[in-house]
Amino acid sequence: MLRGWHLCLLSVLAFYCFYINLQGTTTIHFWSRMALASRIYKGPSHLHDWRRTNPINISISDCDNVKKNILKKSLKLVDANDVKKFVNELRQCPWQYNEFEHNKLKLVLGSCCNARHMLLVTQDNAPLGYKLKYETNPSKIITMTKKIHHMLPKISPFLRKPFKTCAVVGNGGILQNSFCGKEIDSMDFVFSLNLPPLNLAEDIGTKSHFVSANPSILIKKFGRLLERRKPFIDNIKLYDSAMIVLPAFSYVHNTDVSFRALYSVEDFSLENKVAFFHPEYLRNLSSHWKEMGIKANRLSSGLMLVSSALELCNKIQLYGFWPFPTDPDGNNIPHHYYDNIYPKPGFHSMPDEFYLYLKMHSKGALFLQTGKC
């Protein structure tokens, strides 16, 4: 006959086993879902097991060969069909974060560009009286007057510890029906590109902390902010208190409209802060990626923010980056998740940039989401 304390102990053990089993079947840690070696999962229940949604049907050695082929082939030697083939093969392979490879990129980018200190123009890196050179035409300068200096943050907001997890959300049509919204919203810090509409919460989430804004959007969509500014303000309100960042000093014609964006946000007493990309950071970043083989008239906003995230974040996931008119399964998709308008031909080099992300994914430096979440 069992004593009372025996029964108590057995009850505790039974409850513990039930709890562990429940945890193992209902909760999955975001970063562990793609790791090959992990067998125990913890985290939000809405996140899926990468191996379960994309069953492995090629061997580990085949996966290694796919990654080697991606890494050894230069951008000049691949076309769109090669890239799609690589993506479909990689989707069948497990992914694991490689801190060493990420740190190598972080070190190189920190040395050339230094996003932590130089991503934004601040009173610290552009003191009163400083002659700031425009990004695309260094012969043109703008002096940091008291009026301009007052617009700037005192120091960079990125000098503190890196963000643990970050999402960089592109605007590609591949986001449609991706159901990635919950994953994106689970991140500590979210980068968004070019004032995107937030009309597909299930696919793109509802959260953003850093929103880039191309002045051409302010010019075309909001009439240079010379007349009614409420449509612009209503658009900014969608991003809650996110920082709005513009390349005010990339081209001379960007400056005035960027300043008006800042004045508008302040005049309507929004929580948002408007900041400006540092032209030296963007110029150095462009030089760096050109040396790495990205030949384009100008880097896309996507590559600018992915580069920043590599320095500012511990772990990075990319969503909505896909430069082709059909998805990996051959289905037609629009260029953006909200329209089918393509950029000016020859201005950016989207396929080359995407292949760069694919290489980073293959090394484990970041994760490139190319399907449903």
Catalytic residue annotation? 348
User: By C-alpha distance, which of 98, 95, 93 is closest to 60?
Assistant: 93
In angstroms, the CA 241 to CA 264 distance is 15
Distance of alpha carbon 95 from the chain centroid: 18
Q: Between the CA of residue 150 and those of 68, 244, 258, 266, what are the distances in Å? A: 51, 17, 15, 13
Instruction: Judge whether 195 and 169 are in contact, CB under 8 Å.
Output: no
> How far is residue 172's CA from residue 320's CA, in Å, rounded to a whole number?
5
Residues 6+ apart with CB under 8 A from 188: 163, 164, 165, 166
Distance from C-alpha of 349 to C-alpha of 285, rounded to nearest angstrom: 15
